[in-house]
Each structure stands twice: as structure tokens, then as C-alpha cells.
Chains A and B, each alone.
Chain A
Amino acid sequence: MSQGAQAPIVELRDVGKRYGDGPLILEKVGFAAERGDFITLIGPSGCGKSTLLKLISGLNPISSGNIVVDGLPPRKAIEKLAFVFQEPTLLPWRTVARNVELPLTLHGMPAAERREIAKRSLALVGLADRMDYYPRQLSGGQKMRVSIARALSVSPRILLLDEPFGALDEMTRDHLNEELLAIRQQLAWTAFFVTHSVAEAVFLSNRILVLSANPGRLHSEVRVDLPYPRTEETRQSPAYQKLVGDVSKILRSVERMKA
């Protein structure tokens, strides 16, 4: 690997995907992610954006093309990745702390050590005082925070987030967006984020990839050059609002293509 000039941390070349004999879900998708990128995938339903995340995660195999994650095929790179699902996907019979520890438990880490990491992870998402709660005692937003803390517990290089805040109300979502960026300032992972919300996409990412549907193809890329850290003030800025308008326009034209 070339030294100095950083190789892309994730690279997709001509990636195609179909399930069994089903229709083509993704066709010839190609892009490269630099270290520290926050890439949001956006597009009409059925454009395969969630599928794309699963392919990068190695949970599902690709049908054609090539994916390289930090120099390795996705299945081999699984330790560098963490996935945040649409739902919190917590184990209801485990306390918050034991949920966050779960991946470390599965890796066979000693109890004291993983408890320490869980504590730190939960402090990052502002739930240090909820360690011994059960998931059902938490609000939707808190559950999602635990889910993110769990993903962070394995110190991932790459974070894959599949519409994590889709089910939350707008206030909570905005708040969690800001928190997510704040944590990223500290831990500096590369993020792949799927959402339906243009506002969320512009707020979070430095790159937005717009996908078109049937089959899913890369339609266009929008660079978001707003400076980090981004705050509530970012949302008020004309530059932000113009970008939201631009991306919405692209998305509408993609939707029309589909119809």
C-alpha cells in the first residue's frame, strides 16, 4: 500500500447485487471513501441504499464487482466495522451496560475490562447514569443512543448507520445528529449513513451520494463544504438551506425518473 498518500478506506468498483434469481438491486455502483468521510446515501425507496450498507458490512455477499475495506474484502474486515440498525435492536433481557458490552462479551473480553469500555461508551452518548436500566425503561431516543454506544464499544474504524433516527421525532433527531457529530470529532471514524431526510443528510455529511432506483445506480454526488463542528446555527445558515434545496431538487428529479 502506498505510504503517506492515504489509500481510500472503502472502495467499491462496479458493485452489483441481486438476491437469488430476483431482479437486480444494485448495478455498477462505484465510489471511494477517504478516511474521515461522512457519506450519506440517499434516494427513493427501492434504490438499494440499505443493501449497499449490508454489502459493505460483509453481512451479505456481493453478486459482482469488488469491495475493499481497509485493504481487505468486507468479510475479513468485519472487526473494523460497526453497524447501527434502523431499530435499536437491544436485547431486552440485558441491562443497558450489558447490551453495550455484548460485542466485547462475544469476543471473549474479561468482564472488568468490558465494563470499563461500556462506561466510557455510555458517557459519550450521555447515558452514564442509565447503566443498570433495562431497555423497556428507556425512551426511543435513549434506546438509539444505547445502540450507538454499543457500536462504539468495539472502537470501529468505520461506522455503518442504516436510518438510525428514522423513527424518532424531529427534535430528538436534530439533537442526536449534533451528538453524533460531536462524538465523531473525538473518535474520527468514517461513516456511511442511510436516511430519507435531506435535512439530516446535509447536516451530517461532507458527501451525499444520490442513488436512483430499479436497479439502484449512483446518480450523482453532492459535496457539502459546510465547516465542522456543525450546530443549530448551521441549520440557520443560508448555505445550509440552499444545499437542502439543491439536494431536494435532485432527489425529486430522481423520483420522476423512477415514475
Chain B
Amino acid sequence: MSGPHTSTPGPRLKIPPFVTKLLPFVTGVGMIAVWYGICMSLSADQKFLLPSPGEVAHAFVEKGPALWTAAMMTGGGALIGFGLAVALSFLIALFLSLSPLVRASFYPYLMILQMTPIIVIAPILILWVGPGLKSVVIITFLICFFPMVVNTTQGLISTDRNLVDLFRMARATKWQEIRLLRVPSALPYFFTGLRIAATLAPIGAIVGDYIAGNSAGGQGGLGFLTIVYSSQFQMGALFATAAVGCALGFIFVAGVIALSWLSLHKWHDSFSQSDN
């Protein structure tokens, strides 16, 4: 650290950058301490309501293998549903971007798809495709699909009017216009949709597993574990399950952020180097 002779006098206290980096850990430790304090202050007959940090850590170790298998099941279902939603929403968005008439004709039905409660669709799905991975994938798909379609369509129709004129003057074909102009200029919108869908995908898979999962041995995901642990009042294990679901969400979002960085950082203003 700098000695007193190098420090510059100034009205503001200079905070070294490593302190800023440490701050989240400090608050984290603080919150765990508060959590621990609340646990200690609970009376004996209330203790079961809130497991202590130690109990949750213990649950992690004890249920480790089960949590891992369930996380793989749920993560896999979320990834497949998410992937299908991305692919299909892109095609649908291309179709919707063709004309305002197409949008007017089909938008209301997309809204209906979005508004229909999943909890009601679940039993229908179970009847159609049976409980398990297929149902989980379809439910994840339904949850991720709408924000993707809306954002991508918006991106595809928000192309700069002058750029479209430029392409027309160069006698570009419709396909050239889509490939070289509309799709790349829609990318930032596409990634906004992708980020929303990425946070929804693991939640969708867990909810799907909860209401339409397969309870056969080794087939259950995090939703199934939630049912099991809650029916047995295993609070520590429930908290551990929640943490794993949260981690899944982080992994999905981190993946999307990495992907958008890879495709946008060279040219898009949101990754401008001059801001740093």
C-alpha cells in the first residue's frame, strides 16, 4: 500500500479497487451472521422454521448425490426447452416481421399462449405426453417462448429506415436484406429476450418438474425433490435445493451474457470500451 508520503491530500477518501471487489463478500458474511443470529434467537419449538447455515451446509453434503442428479435432470430439461424456444421463436419472429398484417393476424394468439396459466396446462400435458422430461421440456418452452418472440420480432422490425433504403438502392434481394441487415441489427433485441428467457428457463423446468415431473427413481428433478423434502419437513434440504436452483439460473444467465459478449462486444455500444 502507499505510504503516507505518497498519499495526495484531497477532500475525498480514495478507496482502493480491491476493497470494492471485496465488498460483496463482506455483505455476504454479514448476512450469514444475521441469519445465524435469527436462528439462535428462535425458541425451541420454532427452530424447525429456519435451518441454520450449518444445517443447510450439512444438507448439501448429505443430499449431494441426489441434488446433483436432480440438478442434471432439471438443467437438461431447461436447456432443451430453452433451446427449442430460441430456435422456434426465431423462425416465428422472422415470419411475424414480414408485414404488419401478419403480426395483426397472429399476435393475439401468441398473447393467449402467454396468458394461459401453466398450472392448468400441466394436467393436459401429462395426459398427452405423460409425466417426465417431455412435459418439463414443453413447460419450459412455453415459459421461454413469448419473451423471445416479442423481443426478436421487435428487433427485426426496428431496422433503421435509411439502412433499408440503402439496401433497396443497391437492389438487394429480400433474402440479402434479412440476412445482412435485419437479423444482425436485431441481435441486441434478440439477446435481451434471450437473457429474460435464460432466467425463466430453470424456473420453468423446476415448476414443470414439480407439477408434471416423473417420480420414478432417479427420474425426478429439483421440483420433485422439493415435493419430497417439503413433505418430510427437511428444511435444510429444501434450502439447499433452492440454492441449487438459484445456481442453475446463474449458469444460464452467465452463458447468455458470454454469448452476447462474443457476438456484440466488437461493435455494439453497450460494450463500448470508452466507458471504462
Residues of A within 8 Å of B168, CB to CB, are 59
Residues of A within 8 Å of B185, CB to CB, are 91, 93
A83–B171 contact, CB under 8 A?
no
User: Within A97-117, which residues are at the interface with B (CB < 8 Å)?
Assistant: 102-103, 105-107
A106 to chain B, nearest CB (A): 4
Given contacts A57-B169, A91-B184, contact A134 B266 (CB under 8 A): yes
B267–A136 contact, CB under 8 A?
yes
Residues of B within 8 Å of A81, CB to CB, are 169
Contact of B181 among A91, A107, A135 (CB under 8 A): A91
Q: How far is the CA of A122 from the CA of B167 in the complex (A)?
A: 20
User: Within A74-91, which residues are at the interface with B (CB < 8 Å)?
Assistant: 78-79, 81-83, 85-87, 89, 91
Residues of A within 8 Å of B129, CB to CB, are none
A59–B169 contact, CB under 8 A?
yes
A71 within 8 A of B: no
User: Within A129-171, which residues are at the interface with B (CB < 8 Å)?
Assistant: 134-136, 154
- Count of A interface residues, CB-CB < 8 Å: 25
Q: How far is the CA of A80 from the CA of B185 in the complex (A)?
A: 28
A245 within 8 A of B: no
Residues of B within 8 Å of A57, CB to CB, are 169
B163 within 8 A of A: yes
Q: Which of A81, A86, A93 has the most CB of B within 10 A?
A: A93
Given contacts A134-B266, A136-B267, A136-B272, contact A85 B162 (CB under 8 A): yes
Q: How far is the CA of A85 from the CA of B166 in the complex (A)?
A: 9
A92 within 8 A of B: yes
A134–B162 contact, CB under 8 A?
no
Q: How far is the CA of A92 from the CA of B270 in the complex (A)?
A: 12
B191 to chain A, nearest CB (A): 13
Number of A-B contacts (CB under 8 A): 59
B160–A93 contact, CB under 8 A?
no
Q: How far is the CA of A134 from the CA of B269 in the complex (A)?
A: 11
A107–B165 contact, CB under 8 A?
no
Instruction: Give B165's nearest chain A residue, CB to CB.
Output: A59
A78–B184 contact, CB under 8 A?
no
B172 to chain A, nearest CB (A): 5
Instruction: Give B163's nearest chain A residue, CB to CB.
Output: A89
Given contacts A85-B162, A89-B162, A91-B184, contact A103 B170 (CB under 8 A): yes
A83–B166 contact, CB under 8 A?
yes
Residues of B within 8 Å of A135, CB to CB, are 267
B268 within 8 A of A: yes
B176 within 8 A of A: yes
Q: B82-99 interface mask toward A, CB cutoff 8 Å, 1 = contact, 0 = none?
A: 000000000000000000
Q: How far is the CA of A85 from the CA of B266 in the complex (A)?
A: 25
User: Within B262-276, which residues are at the interface with A (CB < 8 Å)?
Assistant: 266-269, 272
Q: Could you pull out 26 A-B pairs where Cβ atoms are within 8 angstroms?
A: A57-B169, A59-B169, A78-B169, A83-B166, A83-B169, A85-B165, A85-B166, A86-B162, A87-B162, A89-B162, A89-B163, A89-B166, A91-B163, A91-B181, A91-B185, A93-B185, A93-B187, A93-B268, A102-B166, A103-B169, A106-B167, A106-B170, A106-B171, A106-B172, A134-B266, A154-B170
8 more A-B residue pairs beyond the given contacts A59-B168, A103-B169, with a C-beta to C-beta distance below 8 A: A81-B169, A91-B180, A91-B185, A92-B269, A106-B172, A107-B170, A134-B266, A154-B170
Binding site for A on B (CB under 8 A): 160, 162-163, 165-172, 176, 180-181, 184-185, 187, 266-269, 272
The 3 A-B pairs of least Cβ separation, nearest first, read A103-B170, A106-B170, A89-B162
